[in-house]
Amino acid sequence: MAKITITLEDQRQGVTSSLDLQQASPREAAGLVPSRALSMGQALLDMVAMQQAINAVPRCSRLPVSTTLH
């Protein structure tokens, strides 16, 4: 059984995230034993990293210039 802790911290340069596997067995942490908690924790951390990457892109780059004539 694994207990996974995800920590999100506000800092001046942005938000940092970490995944704490201290209460997971070494076999679970290495991925040798499938653990739903571990896979969900990793998926959540991946979503945080993806959102941080999206937020790093300037807004004007995310939305294409409208070509509609008014």
pLDDT grade for 70, boundaries at 50, 70 and 90: low
Q: Which pLDDT belongs to residue 12?
A: 86
Domain membership of residue 68 (yes or no) is no
- CB atoms near residue 15 (< 10 Å): 12
pLDDT in tens, 11-56: 888 788 888 877 777 777 676 677 788 888 888 889 988 988 888 8
Q: What's the token pair of residue 14?
A: 């942005």
Question: CB–CB of 41/23 below 8 Å?
Answer: no
pLDDT grade for 69, boundaries at 50, 70 and 90: low
Domain membership of residue 10 (yes or no) is yes
Q: Which pLDDT belongs to residue 63?
A: 67
Q: Per the structure, how many domains does the chain have?
A: 1
Domain membership of residue 16 (yes or no) is yes
Domain membership of residue 64 (yes or no) is no
Please give the residue range of the domain that contains residue 23.
5-56
Domain membership of residue 40 (yes or no) is yes
Domain membership of residue 19 (yes or no) is yes
Q: What's the token pair of residue 49?
A: 């990293």
Domain membership of residue 29 (yes or no) is yes
- CB atoms near residue 21 (< 10 Å): 19
